[in-house]
Amino acid sequence: MTKKHTIAVLVNDQPGVLQRVSGLFGRRGFNIESITVGTSEEPGLSRMIIVTTGDDGTLEQIQKQLYKLIDVIKVIDLSANPMISRELALIKVGAEPSARPELFAVVDTFRASVVDISPSTVIVQVVGDTEKIDAMVELMKPYGILQLTRTGVTAMTRGA
Amino acid sequence: MDSEELRTRLLKPDVISGSEILLRSLLLEGVECVFGYPGGAVLYIYDAMHGNPDFKHLLTRHEQGAIHAADGYARSTGKVGVCIATSGPGATNLVTGIATAYMDSVPLVVITGNVATTFIGTDAFQEADITGITMPITKHSYLVRDVKDLSKTIREAFHIANTGRKGPVLIDIPKDVSSHLTEFQYPEEVNIRGYNPTVMPNKGQVNKLLQAIEEAERPVILAGGGVVYAGAHEELLEFAQKTRIPVTTTLLGLGGFPSGNELWMGMPGMHGTWTANTALQNCDLLIGIGARFDDRVTMKVSAFAPKAKIAHIDVDPAEIGKTVPTAIPCVGDVKMVLELANQKAKPAKSEAWIQQVNEWKAEHPLSYKDSEEELKPQWVVEMIHRQTNGDAFVTTDVGQHQMWAAQYYRFNHPRRWISSGGLGTMGFGFPSAIGVQVANPDATVVSINGDGGMQMCSQELAICAIHNIPVKIAVLNNQVLGMVRQWQEIIHGQRFSHIDLAGSPDFVKLAEAYGVKGLRASNKEEADAAWQEAMNTPGPVLVEFVVRRDENVYPMVQAGTSISEMIMGDAE
Ligand SMILES: Cc1ncc(C[n+]2csc(CCOP(=O)(O)OP(=O)(O)O)c2C)c(N)n1
Residue-wise pLDDT tens digits, B266-277 = 999 999 999 999
Cα angle vertex B138, ends B133, B141, to 5°? 80
Atom of ligand 1 at shortest range from CA of B402: 21
Asked if residue B329 has pLDDT above 90, the reply is yes
CB B448 within 8 A of CB B476: yes
Tell me, yes or no, if B175 is annotated catalytic. Answer: yes
CA of B572 to the centre of ligand 1 (A): 26
Taking only the tens place, the pLDDT of each residue in B95-140 is 999 999 999 999 999 999 999 999 999 999 999 999 999 999 999 9
Taking only the tens place, the pLDDT of each residue in A110-122 is 999 999 999 999 9
The catalytically annotated residue of B20, B29, B63, B544 is B63
Closest chain B C-alpha to A150 CA, distance in angstroms? 28
Please, how many CA atoms are within 13 Å of residue B30, restricted to the half-sphere of its CB?
9
Per-residue confidence at B571, pLDDT binned at 50, 70, 90?
A: low
Closest chain A C-alpha to B231 CA, distance in angstroms? 22
- The shortest CB-CB distance from A72 to any of B139, B194, B316 is to B194
Q: Do B317 and A67 touch (CB under 8 A)?
A: yes
Test mutation, A67, A72, A74, A75, chain B, max B CBs within 10 A: A67
CA of B453 to the centre of ligand 1 (A): 6
Return the CATH fold of A84-157: Alpha-Beta Plaits (3.30.70)
pTM above 0.95, yes or no: yes
For residue A51, what are the β-bridge partners? A6, A34
Atom of ligand 1 at shortest range from CA of B478: 20
Query: Which of B396, B428, B481, B504 is the best mutation target for the ligand 1 pocket, counting ligand atoms within 8 Å of the beta carbon and taking the most?
Result: B481
Specify whether the backbone of B305 is left (phi greater than 0), alpha (psi in -120 to 50) or beta: left
Instruction: Tell me which residues of chain A, numbers 92 to 151, contact chain B at a CB-CB cutoff of 8 Å.
Output: none
Q: Is B499 in the pocket of ligand 1 (CB under 6 A)?
A: no
ipTM: 0.92
Distance CA(B201)–CA(B568), nearest Å, equals 41
* CB-count burial class (<10 Å; 0-12, 13-18, 19+) for A160: exposed
Phi, psi of B30, deg, nearest 5 = 80, 20
Distance CA(B266)–CA(B410), nearest Å, equals 9
Taking only the tens place, the pLDDT of each residue in B208-223 is 999 999 999 999 999 9
Residue type, A93: V
Atom of ligand 1 at shortest range from CA of B425: 26
Considering only CB atoms, which chain A residues are within 8 Å of B136? 23-24, 27
Tell me, yes or no, if B126 is annotated catalytic. Answer: yes
Distance CA(B436)–CA(B80), nearest Å, equals 13
pLDDT of residue B570: 74
Asked if residue B572 has pLDDT above 60, the reply is no
For domain A3-80, which CATH number applies: 3.90.1010.10, 3.40.605.10, 3.30.70.260, 3.30.70.380? 3.30.70.260
Nearest to B318 by CA among A111, A41, A67: A67
Distance CA(B89)–CA(B39), nearest Å, equals 10
Q: Is B511 in the pocket of ligand 1 (CB under 6 A)?
A: no
Considering only CB atoms, which chain A residues are within 8 Å of B318? 61, 64-65, 67-68
pLDDT of residue B108: 98
Tell me, yes or no, if B63 is annotated catalytic. Answer: yes
Q: Do A64 and B318 touch (CB under 8 A)?
A: yes
pLDDT of residue B20: 97
Please, how many CA atoms are within 13 Å of residue B462, restricted to the half-sphere of its CB?
10
* Range of weakest confidence among A81-90, A95-104, B201-210: A95-104
Considering only CB atoms, which chain B residues are within 8 Å of A69? 140, 194
Interfacial residues of B (vs A; Cβ cutoff 8 Å): 131-132, 135-136, 139-140, 143, 160, 165, 192-195, 316-318, 321-322
Q: Is B426 in the pocket of ligand 1 (CB under 6 A)?
A: yes
pLDDT, mean of residues A116-135 = 95
Q: Is B39 in the pocket of ligand 1 (CB under 6 A)?
A: no
The catalytically annotated residue of B119, B156, B166, B175 is B175
| Residue ID of nearest Cα to ligand 1 atom 24 | B426
- Three-class DSSP category at A96: coil
Taking only the tens place, the pLDDT of each residue in B482-537 is 999 999 999 999 999 999 999 999 999 999 999 999 999 999 999 999 999 999 99
Distance CA(B86)–CA(B36), nearest Å, equals 9
pLDDT, mean of residues B63-78 = 98
Per-residue confidence at B569, pLDDT binned at 50, 70, 90?
A: confident
Closest chain A C-alpha to B192 CA, distance in angstroms? 8
Buried b / exposed e over B326-355, threshold 16 CB at 10 Å, is bebbbbbbbbbbbbbbbeebeebebeebbe
| Residue ID of nearest Cα to ligand 1 atom 2 | B426
Asked if residue B378 has pLDDT above 80, the reply is yes
Same fold, A3-80 and A84-157: yes
Average pLDDT, chain B: 97
- Helix H, strand E, coil C: the string for B349-376 is CCHHHHHHHHHHHHHCCCCCCCCCCCCC
| Residue ID of nearest Cα to ligand 1 atom 11 | B481
pLDDT of residue B2: 66
Give the domain ranges of chain A: 3-80, 84-157
Asked if residue B567 has pLDDT above 90, the reply is yes
Q: Is B100 in the pocket of ligand 1 (CB under 6 A)?
A: no
Nearest to B135 by CA among A152, A14, A42, A5: A14
Tell me, yes or no, if B556 is annotated catalytic. Answer: no
Taking only the tens place, the pLDDT of each residue in B549-558 is 999 999 999 9
For residue B448, what are the β-bridge partners? B396, B474
CA of B363 to the centre of ligand 1 (A): 32
For B99-180, list the strands marked E by DSSP: 108-114, 140-143, 168-174
Taking only the tens place, the pLDDT of each residue in B41-62 is 999 999 999 999 999 999 999 9
Tell me, yes or no, if B454 is annotated catalytic. Answer: no
Interface contacts A/B by beta carbons within 8 Å? 41
- The shortest CB-CB distance from A68 to any of B131, B193, B318 is to B318
Distance CA(B461)–CA(B212), nearest Å, equals 52
Asked if residue A18 has pLDDT above 80, the reply is yes
Instruction: Note if the bond before B470 is cis, omega within 30 degrees.
Output: no
Taking only the tens place, the pLDDT of each residue in B8-38 is 999 999 999 999 999 999 999 999 999 999 9
Asked if residue B544 has pLDDT above 90, the reply is yes
Taking only the tens place, the pLDDT of each residue in B419-444 is 999 999 999 999 999 999 999 999 99
